[in-house]
Amino acid sequence: MKHAILAGLLVTAAIAPPAVAHVTLERGEASPGSYKAVLRVPHGCGREPTTGLTVTIPEGVHSVKPQPKPGWALATRVRPYQRAYVNHGREVREGVSEISWSGGTLPNEHYDEFVFVGQIDASLAGAGRIFFPVVQTCATGENRWVEVPVAGSSGPLAAPAPALRIVAAAPAAQPAAASVRAGSLTIAQPWSRATPGGARVAGGYLTVTNTGAAPDRLMGGSAAFAERVEIHEMATRDGVMTMRALPAGLTIAPGQTVELKPGGLHVMFMGLRTPLAEGQTVKVTLDFEKAGKVELDFRIGGLGGRAAPGGEHHH
């Protein structure tokens, strides 16, 4: 038994050269929202103790705050963001882009952690992996953990930047796209699309089925993120596809299923107050003549998406 364990240790040591112990993030996966980054420093530069650590924050990670560390001086660099983000309802346009801890001593034989918190913007939902390049400094040398994978090449990097994989929010945090019943109506898959910066309008899509014996009518609605909510149709006039408002609303006959989709009937969010970001869920209240006001969670898909964001049909 003892021999087997010893053999296992020897094998591990043989295939794991010291360079494999990179500076990494403790939690390598996160969803858009709050994130606590713990940078793990497993060794010095060669045998030298670590005396400084500088991390660069990627665009899309905003409202960053470093955790001070006893025995280390803390410095930050603040830069304007490439776009505005929203943190707890407030717009933020600049923030920490670089954090440095310096002046401490972390012996090569010891291990330590450097911590900061921040917000992962919803626009990173489809980003895959994002990177936090780190420069580890020692008395005379440094380790630059700044390499990022290049498309088309594979294989291990000698000094990879700490990576964070952005994953979809946990199902509990994102209301399931289960259909909503209101009166004799069943409303399924409400969704919209991410909007480019400066966009003033966005379309909303869903499927309504009337299982009752009387017609109902979708008349309009309201949403906090838009000035007005209208019902529109697309129509071809003189060979040109245009859209127009349906002031009388949209009738859903008994037994009928009406699909509101890109290029067809749609809900129109007019006068957007905030952009819609992929991965987000926004609340919209639709007004039906008989079913009344129905609050729905619209899931926001990718820019220019043609269909509802994935994951709806898990039966």
Q: Report the interface residues with Cu ion, using CB under 5 A.
A: 232, 243, 268
**HSE value, Cβ hemisphere, 13 Å, CA-based, for 219:** 10
Residue length of the chain: 315
Nearest-approach distance from CB 311 to Cu ion, in angstroms: 26
Q: Of all helices (H) and strands (E), which one includes residue 238?
A: none
d(CA 202, CA 267): 8
Nearest-approach distance from CB 250 to Cu ion, in angstroms: 12
Closer to Cu ion by CB, 161 or 276: give it: 276
Give the amino acid at 103: G
d(CA 89, CA 76): 24
Nearest-approach distance from CB 231 to Cu ion, in angstroms: 9
Residue nearest to Cu ion (CB): 232
Closer to Cu ion by CB, 62 or 232: give it: 232
Residues 6+ apart with CB under 8 A from 17: none
Burial label, 55 (beta-carbon count in 10 A; 0-12, 13-18, 19+): buried
Closer to Cu ion by CB, 32 or 204: give it: 204
Residue 158 CA, chain-centre distance (Å), reads: 29
Closer to Cu ion by CB, 30 or 194: give it: 194
d(CA 83, CA 247): 36
Nearest-approach distance from CB 57 to Cu ion, in angstroms: 38
Closer to Cu ion by CB, 35 or 205: give it: 205
Nearest-approach distance from CB 204 to Cu ion, in angstroms: 9
15 three-state secondary structure: helix
Nearest-approach distance from CB 74 to Cu ion, in angstroms: 50
Closer to Cu ion by CB, 41 or 300: give it: 300
Instruction: Report the side by side order of strands in the sheet with 142-145.
Output: 73-87, 90-106, 50-56, 134-138, 142-145
Q: Which residue, among 288, 85, 91, has the nearest Cα to 182 in the 3D structure?
A: 288
Closer to Cu ion by CB, 243 or 258: give it: 243
- Helical segments of 26-174, H only: none
Tokens (6 digits) for 105: 């001593």
Nearest-approach distance from CB 80 to Cu ion, in angstroms: 34
Closer to Cu ion by CB, 159 or 201: give it: 201
Nearest-approach distance from CB 203 to Cu ion, in angstroms: 6
